Amino acid sequence: MSVNLQTPIDYLKGVGSNRANLLRSELGIHTYQDLINLFPNRYIDRTHYYKINQLQRNNADIQVIGKIIEFKEVAQKRGKRLLATFVDETGVMELVWFRGQKWIRENLKLNKTYVAFGKPNWFNGKFNIAHPEMELQEDHEKNLRSAMQPVYPSTEKLLSKGISNRMISKIMQQLFIETKGKFIETLPDNLRLELKLVNKSEALFNIHFPKNQELLSKAQFRLKFEELFYIQLQLIIKNLIHKSKIKGFPFEKVDTYFNSFFKDYLPFELTGAQKRVLREIRSDLGSNAQMNRLLQGDVGSGKTIVAFMSMLIALDNGFQACMMAPTEILSVQHYNGLLELCNKLKIKIQLLTGSTKTLKRREIHKSLENGDLQVIVGTHALLEDKVKFKNLGLAIIDEQHRFGVAQRSKLWHKNISPPHVLVMTATPIPRTLAMSVYGDLDISIIDELPPGRQSIKTVHRYDKNRLNVFRFIRDEIAKGRQIYIVYPLIQESENMDYKDLMDGYESISREFPMPDYQISIVHGKMKAADKDFEMQRFIKGETQIMVATTVIEVGVNVPNASVMIIESAERFGLSQLHQLRGRVGRGAEQSYCILMTGHKLSNDSKTRLETMVKTSDGFEIAEVDLRLRGPGDIMGTQQSGILNLKIADIIKDNDILQLARYHAKTILKKDKKLSLPENLIILNTYKQLSKYKNIWNYIS
């Protein structure tokens, strides 16, 4: 009889209810299945022994053979610690225990040969190991099964309660004894043969008890592929279900609005990337399914014109379109840009934000509901229950990571049938992350800038170069250009940030005195109306310098601003630096970004600054950011759950991820319902995983 892997961990011999409770609370291990999926973090070569005089200060876990010649107790602030003097023929070190002293004294004997295992620390002129694993040399030699000993994830609490790495290894062995090392295969034979993957039982045995590096590598590859394959399968199935179940309005024609805009009013020649993306969108809109597409493109790559032309297709088919942006500044900017284009085509467009006056609001509500108003641009105000459309055909959402899932679905429910959805972002999402987090959306990328755009020259300068930077600012202002100077805003220390900003403002005012120079200041503590007043002065060119916090990160468009100075640039993340840099370089003139820092920089800060100076490619920057920060941080808390992978790492295992997605897609293309005999194994595994919500049922 095979053991059921959903059996609670309490029933495994050697565990019992106390240990089971600890394993549950500390490592989330509830069942045999969870235990088998507790994969080692790393492996230690237990055939190698150090002499005491060979120890280094940066050693990882090591083994030393020696004898205890003396015990002594040392008083400390709380209780006592037990010290043992441990010697071999080359020197002396100490072993230290902060708890469990009674057991240690009773069980460890003086002058017997032991193997001590643990991490050496340097203290008071000699090495010590705290809470070492101790084994008599003769027992150690009998027990040594494998050169590569696994090291499992652990916590302080587990160690303090005696659940050591050796203990976890023991219960893992017990699990293999009870299951006879036989586990249900989860991948079909044809796929395993094609990719030369070892079978499931072999992979699990060699991940926990590898005899050598080659067997370990094969086991790791197999298990990583499997984990990523089922995540991709889930995402692609979700996309297919979406397309088959959620019918969209088929926009069958491309007519007067689109064609006359394209022929007579297009302000510039579209780039190849814009044309490609438009074709992808047109094909979605013409199909019977609801479009659910993510449009990525760097700042200034021309996403808005693509969005507008998509709206024209909706209008050509007798539908309304809306565009929603996360901030008032950004929605006003979108509105002003689109208003000009709509006027040429005699399209009725309005703006709806939190500050729209009541009378105007009522008028907008009425004309939306009777279909008189064709295009609306706005903020969250579009989500209010009072806002009803006659027939919303296309919803465009800008910078969607700032809107929650619930908010987006509110937009859907304003219609009998959900509108087509185009989500835009100027935050480049690395391919690996896009495949894992947005794998259920279709993705379009605008990866070239419009012709005539000059790349922004980026330099890193230290505080001591400040006078040269001021000289450069004067020269640029003399040419008629405008300057941004941005200070970091980090929530925890708003007072400090405010002080930085005000100190900065004062020193800038001294260097650039009135009446020769005019300076705007914008920060989070100002009233919205004052903020807007200052922004407008800068936009109209009445002030030459804008001193601000990161309020200006998203969407302010001043083509005449050619210099972005970022103060304390080491305090910003890469994607934020890239977004800020995108505020300049919007006109025809050469633009500059100057990153100012102090001299003390961490390695990560240096990498960020070097990356900014070296490249302006948003996707390359996003890849470096992903390596530095890890996926959870980049996606924010809502989506970090998606990346709680057991063994794969979407950054390091990018190739395996792409391979897994390719095979998942190929299989589903041939057999959408996984009903062919060779795919039954996939179907069953997929159902099991969904049932036990094992690791991949968390996609928002």
| Residue 108, domain member (yes or no) | no
| DSSP-derived 3-state class of residue 525 | coil
| Burial (Cβ within 10 Å: 0-12, 13-18, ≥19) of residue 3 | middle
Per-residue pLDDT, 396: 93
| Residue 308 clears pLDDT 90, i.e. is over it | yes
| Residue 168, domain member (yes or no) | no
Q: What is the pLDDT of residues 606-652, one digit of tens each?
A: 999 999 999 888 878 887 887 787 665 544 434 444 456 788 887 77
| Residue 642, domain member (yes or no) | no
441 and 497 assigned to the same domain? no
Per-residue pLDDT, 100: 79
| Residue 493 clears pLDDT 70, i.e. is over it | no
Stretch 241-261: mean pLDDT, rounded? 86
Say which CATH number the domain at 564 has.
Answer: 3.40.50.300
Per-residue pLDDT, 315: 95
Determine what percent of the chain falls in helix, strand and coil, rounding each to the nearest 5. 45, 20, 35
| Residue 321, domain member (yes or no) | yes
CB burial string 451-479: b at 16+ within 10 A, e below: eebeebebebbeeeeeeebeebbeebbee
241 and 260 assigned to the same domain? no
* Higher pLDDT pick, 237 / 691: 237
Identity at 270, one-letter amino acid code: L
Stretch 268-296: mean pLDDT, rounded? 90
336 and 290 assigned to the same domain? yes
Stretch 382-393: mean pLDDT, rounded? 89
Stretch 385-389: mean pLDDT, rounded? 89
470 and 423 assigned to the same domain? no
Q: Check residue 50 and report its DSSP letter.
A: B
- Highest-confidence range of 190-204, 327-341, 534-548, by mean pLDDT? 190-204
d(CA 158, CA 535): 56
Residue 665 structural domain: 207-245+648-692
Per-residue pLDDT, 67: 95
Contacts of 29 (CB under 8 A, 6+ apart): 9, 23, 35, 38
| Residue 49, domain member (yes or no) | no
CA-wise closest residue to 347 among 377, 299, 312, 313: 312
- Rounded to a whole number of angstroms, the distance between the first and last alpha carbons of the chain is 38
| Residue 21, domain member (yes or no) | no
Distance of CA 406 to the CA centre of its chain: 20
| Residue 564 clears pLDDT 90, i.e. is over it | yes
Instruction: Judge if the upstream peptide bond of residue 515 is cis by omega within 30 degrees of 0.
Output: yes
Per-residue pLDDT, 640: 40
351 and 491 assigned to the same domain? no
| Residue 497 clears pLDDT 80, i.e. is over it | no
pLDDT-based confidence at 697, cuts 50/70/90? very low
CA-wise closest residue to 85 among 102, 63, 68, 106: 68
In DSSP terms, 118 is beta-bridged to 62
Measure Cα distances from 13 to 32, 71, 145 in Å. Answer: 11, 35, 21
506 and 437 assigned to the same domain? no
| Residue 376 clears pLDDT 90, i.e. is over it | yes
pLDDT-based confidence at 491, cuts 50/70/90? very low
| Residue 699 clears pLDDT 50, i.e. is over it | no
| Residue 620, domain member (yes or no) | no
Q: What is the pLDDT of residues 40-90, one digit of tens each?
A: 988 887 778 899 998 887 667 888 999 999 999 988 888 888 999 999 999
For the ranges 205-209, 452-456, 502-506, the lowest mean pLDDT is seen at 452-456
How much of the chain, in percent, has pLDDT values that exceed 70? 89
CA-wise closest residue to 333 among 378, 300, 374: 378
396 and 312 assigned to the same domain? yes
| Residue 100, domain member (yes or no) | no
Number of compact structural domains in the chain: 3
| Domain-ending residue, one of 599, 615, 631 | 615
pLDDT-based confidence at 496, cuts 50/70/90? low
601 and 671 assigned to the same domain? no
pLDDT-based confidence at 129, cuts 50/70/90? very high
For the ranges 370-374, 416-420, 552-556, the lowest mean pLDDT is seen at 552-556
Stretch 282-300: mean pLDDT, rounded? 85
d(CA 395, CA 538): 32
235 and 336 assigned to the same domain? no
Identity at 6, one-letter amino acid code: Q
| Domain-ending residue, one of 416, 446, 476 | 446
Per-residue pLDDT, 453: 72
CA-wise closest residue to 603 among 579, 578, 567, 627: 627
Per-residue pLDDT, 679: 95
Q: Check residue 551 and report its DSSP letter.
A: G
Per-residue pLDDT, 248: 77
Per-residue pLDDT, 662: 93
Specify the DSSP element, H or E, that contains 537: helix 528-539
395 and 472 assigned to the same domain? no
| DSSP-derived 3-state class of residue 693 | coil
| Residues 554, 328 contacting (CB under 8 angstroms) | no
| Residue 314 clears pLDDT 70, i.e. is over it | yes
Per-residue pLDDT, 400: 60
| Residue 473 clears pLDDT 90, i.e. is over it | yes
d(CA 492, CA 403): 23
| Residue 492 clears pLDDT 60, i.e. is over it | no
| Mean pLDDT taken over the chain | 85
371 and 414 assigned to the same domain? yes
Stretch 438-451: mean pLDDT, rounded? 77
| Residue 366 clears pLDDT 60, i.e. is over it | yes
| Domain-ending residue, one of 398, 426, 446 | 446
221 and 271 assigned to the same domain? no
For the ranges 47-61, 431-445, 492-506, the lowest mean pLDDT is seen at 492-506
Per-residue pLDDT, 218: 95
